[in-house]
Amino acid sequence: MKQSQRTIFQVDLTQIDGDGDFPCPKCGTVISPEDETETVYKIVDTRVKNEELEELVIQCNKCESKIRLVGFLAIEK
Ligand SMILES: [Zn+2]
């Protein structure tokens, strides 16, 4: 079993106060979904439903954890 299986963390944006920034569940780096520079994280997968962003999977550039962001639709109301 040499395969490295990383845990995918899940962050529900509806559970986050403020402007949507949250700390990486593993290393604590603050991640802002509004940040599109890819210096802190990069987007690895997006899931769209009815032309609206439903789910986003990102990877923290510091610790390389994958984080699944959910709750976009609830925020868009
Ligand atoms: Zn991290």
Where are the domains positioned within the chain?
Answer: 8-76
CA dist 26 and 57 (Å) reads 15
Predicted confidence at residue 69, as pLDDT, reads 93
Per residue in 25-48, pLDDT tens? 999 999 998 888 999 999 999 999
Report CA(56)–ligand 1 centroid distance (Å): 16
pLDDT in the model for residue 1: 53
Q: How far is the CA of 14 from the centre of ligand 1 (A)?
A: 20
| pTM of the predicted protein model | 0.82
CA distances from 3 to 6, 21, 25, 73 (A): 9, 32, 22, 34
Distance from the alpha carbon of residue 50 to the mean position of ligand 1, in angstroms: 30
- Asked if residues 12 and 23 have their Cβ atoms less than 8 Å apart, the reply is no
Distance 1 CA to ligand 1 centre (A): 24
In terms of pLDDT, which residue wins out, 77 or 74?
74
> Cα(33) to centroid of ligand 1, in Å?
14
Torsion of CA 43, 55, 49, 46, to 10 degrees: 20
- pLDDT band at residue 20 using 50, 70 and 90 as cut-offs: confident
Q: What is the mean pLDDT of residues 1-5?
A: 56
Measuring CA to CA, which residue among 9, 8, 15 is closest to residue 72? 15
pLDDT of residue 4: 58
